[in-house]
Chains A and B, each alone.
Chain A
Amino acid sequence: MPRHIIMDPSGHSTIEFDAASTTDLAEAERRFNKLVAKGFIPAEARGEGKHHVPDQSKRVFNPDAEETIFVPALKGG
């Protein structure tokens, strides 16, 4: 089942959704867009420690992604 993993102070939250359900997909897309608008960076996990992060201008919901990790916006330390 596809999932969104959102990094937060709790050690991240995981939300699974059913890719066959149009309601779930619409909700997942809304969540994706909301997080990206807040500055989160979506990284699709590709297995074996590999990830794919789209360019800043191409960060749109991919309904085929099995696992997307949302990294909060970065700051310099």
Chain B
Amino acid sequence: MMLTWLALVLLVGLLCWVARLSSILASNDERQQQEAEAKGLALLLENLDPRQREQYDRSGYFDVVGSETGRRYRICHGVSRNVSELFDDNRLGAGRCFMPRGNLAAGDCMLAQKIMLENCEEEALRVALRF
């Protein structure tokens, strides 16, 4: 009887310890993700031109001009399905979904999309999927 109680107490203690450890690991992951997002966003803001910066601060998106076609694109905050062509009257056209490989923060992802469309539009559109 005594042994059963002891085993039960040990089991409950072990379960509590595992739950606490999982919670600590989860909060570490969350903190690292938040740090990555903050760093990515800071890099994006450093690399936007003044007009794009103002547009992003105001609306959460910014517009870029394609290096080869001169077509305009809107990049919205996000990591996928966040790039669309723009008509002359600013209506959204076809979506162009492409992003850098790897699990990047939103700021880094948007900066990569801007750099590619403004410098190597064809290279970006070659891999982009329409949506």
Chain A residues packing against B (C-beta within 8 Å): 5, 7-12, 39, 41, 43, 45, 48-53, 56, 69, 71-77
Known: A7-B100, A69-B111, A77-B131. 5 other contacts (CB 8 A): A7-B112, A11-B37, A11-B105, A53-B116, A72-B101
Given contacts A10-B32, A11-B35, A77-B129, contact A53 B115 (CB under 8 A): yes
- Return B121 CB to nearest CB of chain A, in Å: 11
Contacts of A9 in B (CB 8 A): 36, 102-105
Chain B residues packing against A (C-beta within 8 Å): 32, 35-40, 43, 47-50, 52-53, 80-81, 97-105, 107-108, 111-112, 115-116, 118-120, 123-124, 127-129, 131
Contacts of A69 in B (CB 8 A): 43, 47, 111, 115
- Determine chain B's interface SS by DSSP, over half rule: helix
- In whole angstroms, how far apart are the Cα atoms of A5 and B128 in the complex? 24
- Return A66 CB to nearest CB of chain B, in Å: 13
Contact A71 B115 (CB under 8 A): yes
- List of 9 A-B pairs having minimum Cβ-Cβ separation, nearest first: A49-B49, A11-B39, A77-B97, A11-B36, A53-B119, A72-B100, A76-B129, A77-B80, A71-B112
Residue of A with least CB distance to B130: A76
Contact B119 A74 (CB under 8 A): no
Residue of A with least CB distance to B119: A53
Contacts of A48 in B (CB 8 A): 49-50
Contact A49 B50 (CB under 8 A): yes
- Return A77 CB to nearest CB of chain B, in Å: 3
- In whole angstroms, how far apart are the Cα atoms of A19 and B54 in the complex? 34
Residue among A50, A71, A72, A74 making CB contact with B127, cutoff 8 Å: A74
- In whole angstroms, how far apart are the Cα atoms of A16 and B129 in the complex? 36
